[in-house]
Structure 1
Amino acid sequence: MEADGDPHLARHRLHRFFLWCADSQLPELVTLATTVDTWWPEINAFLETGITNAGTEGYNRLVKVVKRSACGFRNTENSRRRIRFHCTRRQRAAAHQFSC
């Protein structure tokens, strides 16, 4: 919905989308329109810059998975090492690939 960088056209298309959702009277589309309206500043920032926080969110998910599978490390240093090990796996694999 970037509208080729024209903010006026993007706002116009967003308004048309909201009207379409409201006219449909489908609860799912009304919920979708509400969600888009709530997140519009973030969506618009991505459309303008192309920058996301997907990498950070991915690492946060990975840390939560590691913590969940650790079954409660009692030693915080071991917990940090395990998280660091999992978060740097890709870099280690690439370094190993080039060193062989």
Structure 2
Amino acid sequence: MEHAPGRGEDRAALLTAWIAKENLRTLLALARTGAGRHQVGHASWKFLTWCADSDIPEVRQLATTVDRWWPEVAALIDTGHSSAKSEGINRVIKLVARNAFGFRNAENQRLRTRCVTTRRARGQLRSAQL
């Protein structure tokens, strides 16, 4: 059975992207360890160097994005805290607003948003019910 041309390159690209992802996960996992500046710097250097040496535009873009957001990433690593919960709630609010696009009753829209963002309702609602 013949292999399609470029299959080896596809596998190499996939492996390169996977290693970049694992290097980023290693860097972000330092948030729960109390790692020192040297350890964080080494993990950051390893990730950014791997991505910069890559020929894959998406991997390089990932490194550019992480570098652009480095103050926030460093704050996560230093404190172990992030804004993930509030970002998740904002995502749900936007989803509800998109689903209700075109409705004329603003009060009902406000109540729907409040309902899906309350602590009790979040655990009970499924995305199909939004």
Task: Provide runs of 4+ in structure 1 moved above 4 Å.
Answer: none
Question: 1:10-51, CA deviations, whole angstroms, 9 ceiling, x for partnerless residues?
Answer: 223322433333334443332222122111111111011111
Whole-Å separation in 1 of the counterparts to 2:85 and 2:45: 31
TM score, norm. by length of structure 2: 0.58
- Residue 12 of structure 1 is matched in structure 2 by 42
Whole-Å separation in 2 of the counterparts to 1:23 and 1:93: 43
- Residue 91 of structure 1 is matched in structure 2 by 120
RMSD value, Cα: 2.5
Q: Identity over aligned residues, as a percent?
A: 46
Whole-Å separation in 2 of the counterparts to 1:64 and 1:93: 15
- Residue 63 of structure 2 is matched in structure 1 by 33
TM score, norm. by length of structure 1: 0.71
Whole-Å separation in 2 of the counterparts to 1:42 and 1:93: 27
Offset of 1:71 from its aligned partner? 3.2
Q: Which runs of 5+ in 2 are unaligned?
A: 1-26, 124-130
Equivalent residue in structure 2 for 1:57, among 79, 87, 93: 87
Offset of 1:62 from its aligned partner? 1.1
Equivalent residue in structure 2 for 1:48, among 78, 94, 116: 78
**Between Structure 1 and Structure 2, which shows a larger proportion of helix residues?**
1
Offset of 1:56 from its aligned partner? 1.1
